Amino acid sequence: MRAVRMHDYGGIDVLRVEDAPVPEPAAGEVRVRVVGAAVNPVDWKIRRGYLRQDIPHRFPLVPGWDVSGVVDAVGEQATRFKVGDAVYSRPDIARDGTYAEFVVIRETELAAKPRTISHIEAASLPLAGITAYQALVDIAQVQPGQRVLVHAAAGGVGSLAVQIAKARGAQVIGTASGANRALVESLGVDQFVDYRREALAPAVREVDVVFDTLGGDVQEASWALLKPGGVLVSVVNPPPQKRAQAHGVRGEFLFIGPNATVLAELARMVEAGRLRPVIGAEFALRDIARAHELSESGRARGKIVLYVGTP
């Protein structure tokens, strides 16, 4: 099969488009023929070796951990899916990923693909969608009428987070540069903040929830925007508990894993018209270098997807 593999950590040049063996599903696993995959910042963070202490990878490694495709073979004791089923997943990040024509995934990490969207659109959802959903619903437990600040609202995670917070009945404030105002407003924000022109304070005040997708100075500037009793959820760096306590708020960190239950809920939201994928760029598998360059630029709009196979 054609696959993108890396034989070492490093720059974009370690991504090689080459032939690789078709993987065989073991017990409890299925093989998925990949139609669409997506690129996430964690892909280039792993490529650069930033996560090498936390996640043991063996080379050659197929990166990429978002997929939508069709079940192609079923291992022993795998009973949830049959050959021909349309599925989507954010599989285990410690194993070979989805920049390939085929990927083997534990059946517990798969869900039925949302019926109302294409495989390419579905491939854009799992990793970013699980992240946004778990941050806002499971951790922050956003309630109707609460004020929620979503940083990087034009990005892969933020564009879904805005919609999930709106679906929960929240008032949503989204930040992005002015070039992304129309996109972010189309997602339903109640207030748009162009972070390049406006300081967060006093433009944003008294929020119940901050969703921090940027960390660093942005996280630091966010504490003062929260109401007492509010919560900041970061997916970038663990919030210092002293800062949270000093402001009388909670500081939480999330690093997601595979989650078929959330994928099933995201599919329900898509099918009900309450969540739509936002795709900013599409690449063929052979153009993986350009896709990584775009992700690393920090300027991606919505999701970067890879078209790999035919539906």
Ligand X SMILES: NC(=O)c1ccc[n+]([C@@H]2O[C@H](COP(=O)([O-])OP(=O)(O)OC[C@H]3O[C@@H](n4cnc5c(N)ncnc54)[C@H](OP(=O)(O)O)[C@@H]3O)[C@@H](O)[C@H]2O)c1
Residue 41 is a binding residue for ligand X (CB under 6 A): yes
Residue from 42, 62, 164, 260 touching ligand X (CB under 6 A): that is 42
Q: Do strands 16-19 and 67-74 pair parallel, antiparallel, or not at all (unpaired)?
A: unpaired
Is 199 near ligand X (CB under 6 A)? no
Q: How many CB atoms lie within 10 A of CB 298?
A: 10
Task: Kindly state whether residue 128 participates in binding ligand X, applying the rule CB under 6 A.
Answer: yes
Q: Residue 120 interacts with ligand X (CB under 6 A)? A: no
Q: Please, what is the minimum distance in Å from the beta carbon of residue 138 to ligand X?
A: 12
Contact call for residues 80 and 287 (beta carbons, < 8 A): no
295: contact with ligand X by CB under 6 A: yes
Does 251 engage in binding with ligand X (CB under 6 A)? no
Told to check if 286 binds ligand X by CB under 6 A, we report no
| Contact between 233 and ligand X per CB under 6 A | no
Residue 180 interacting with ligand X (CB under 6 A): yes
Site membership for ligand X, residue 292 (CB under 6 A): no
By CB under 6 A, name the one of 23, 69, 126, 156 that touches ligand X.
Answer: 156
Using DSSP's 3-state secondary structure scheme, residue 112 falls into strand
Burial of 110 (0-12, 13-18, 19+ CB in 10 A): buried
Residue placing its CB nearer to ligand X in the complex, 42 or 100:
42
> Binding residue for ligand X (CB under 6 A) from 31, 90, 292, 301?
301
Exposure class string for 33-72: b at 16+ Cβ within 10 A, else e: bbbbbbbbbbbbebbeeebeeeeebeeebbbbbbbbbbbb
Q: Are strands 86-89 and 16-19 parallel, antiparallel or unpaired?
A: unpaired
The reply to whether 155 sits near ligand X by the rule CB under 6 A is yes
Complex with ligand X: residue 74 or 209, whichever CB lies closer: 209
Which parts of 76-105 interact with ligand X (CB under 6 A)? Answer: none
Q: Nearer to ligand X by C-beta: 25 or 155? A: 155
- The correct pick among 17, 60, 195, 281 for binding ligand X (CB under 6 A) is 195
What is d(CA 160, CA 153) in angstroms, rounded to the nearest whole number? 8
| Neighbouring residues of 129: CB distance < 8 A, sequence distance ≥ 6 | 160, 262, 263, 266, 275
Exposure class string for 135-164: b at 16+ Cβ within 10 A, else e:
bbbebbebeeebbbbbbbbbbbbbbbbbbb
According to the binding rule CB under 6 A, does residue 263 interact with ligand X?
no
Residue nearest to ligand X (CB): 155
CB of 70 to ligand X, least distance (A): 26
CB of 133 to ligand X, least distance (A): 11
Using alpha carbons only, give the angle 274, 303, 179 rounded to the nearest 5 degrees.
95
- CB-based contact 121:21 (threshold 8 Å): no
Residues of this chain that bind ligand X (CB under 6 A): 40-42, 127-128, 131, 151-152, 154-158, 175-177, 179-180, 195, 213-214, 218, 235-236, 254-256, 295, 298-301
